[in-house]
Amino acid sequence: MADLNTRLTQSLNIHNPIVLAPMGGASGAKLATAVSRAGGLGLVGASYGDEQWMRTELEPMRDLKQTWGVGLVMFTVARNLALLDLALDYGPDVVALSFGNPADFIPTIHRGGAKAIVQIHELDQARAALDAGADALIVQGAEAGGHSLRRGLLPLLPAVQDLVGDKVPLIAAGGIADGRGVAAALVLGADGVMLGTRFLASDEALPSAAFKQRLIQSATADTVRTRIFDQVRGIEWPEQYSGRAIANRFSQTWLGRDDALREAPDSVRQDYAKAVLADDLEQRVIWAGEVLDLVGDIKPARQIVEDLLKETTHILRNSQRLLAFDKIA
């Protein structure tokens, strides 16, 4: 497998600029290890800070020779700073931060010997992350699965690149599932890409086989943007964020009825919790991005990385022929 070298690969000591999104409940040790061993950056998705889950999934990462990291949601860690210490105890090379104030955490991450990469969705967030000492920025567009703001990646990425210049590497996220997306992101100024939905449909992702089949059988048109799945789980996301997920019977019942769900009896939340345990796909959330139309199979993570690199290299090499358009009679 050929290397694809960028400022990101040099900064993080990886071979290829492919980053696994730290998806909570999906990006565990097995998937993160596979991506890192394929030359990319595997991130374990600690998300909402289940300490036992973190210990279970981070322990196997201790002895990994390749670069790896952990992803944390900042507004969760802000309520329990011990979660960051717990993550750092396992010796990650990278900590990926999202949704919060990175200045509260980056000094601790650097003292712990790790690099901090920060997800941003607006230019003011990019400025704040740079001021806080971020080592790289994840520029996420609204095409992404899970939580995001309103801006699309296509105009946001070059705007951030204009702002940042050569100060730190940029990682593009949202709407990327194949080599075409990787090549486009690199041309727009990214130094790497982060993929979630494509890796969710991998052998190593933690969700069940039924979950993955539902994912690959769904289309982009089947997704909705909503806050109801956060409400029913009792997760207090900042008001400006909503999440993209595959529609199901739960969303059909509650979509657009946020106030009613907020006032619903406790039995609704209890039933939802039971549905998660039972892997009831008509009730539980399946976060997924606009790339669903491009994700039609389940593969080993290493094969996904290899396919991405092969496609990207082919596209970038063949694009050179466009420079000869003025020679065409």
d(CA 227, CA 237): 8
d(CA 145, CA 99): 15
d(CA 151, CA 155): 8
Q: Report the interhelical angle of 29-37 vs 51-58 (nearest 10°).
A: 40
Is the full-model pTM beyond 0.85?
Answer: yes
The pLDDT value given to residue 324:
61
Q: Are 164 and 185 in contact (CB under 8 A)?
A: no
Domains in the chain: boundaries: 7-206+297-325, 219-277
d(CA 22, CA 24): 6
Residue 140's nearest CA partner among 87, 65, 208, 197 is 197
pLDDT by residue, tens only, the chain of 329 residues: 567 889 999 999 999 999 999 998 999 999 999 999 999 999 999 988 789 999 999 999 999 999 999 999 999 999 999 999 999 999 999 999 999 999 999 999 999 999 999 999 999 999 999 999 999 999 999 999 999 999 999 999 999 999 999 999 999 999 999 999 999 999 999 999 999 999 999 999 999 999 999 999 999 999 999 999 999 998 888 888 999 999 999 999 999 998 899 889 999 999 999 999 999 999 999 999 999 999 999 999 999 999 999 999 999 988 776 666 555 44
d(CA 36, CA 22): 13
What does CATH list as the number for 7-206+297-325?
3.20.20.70
The pLDDT value given to residue 4:
85
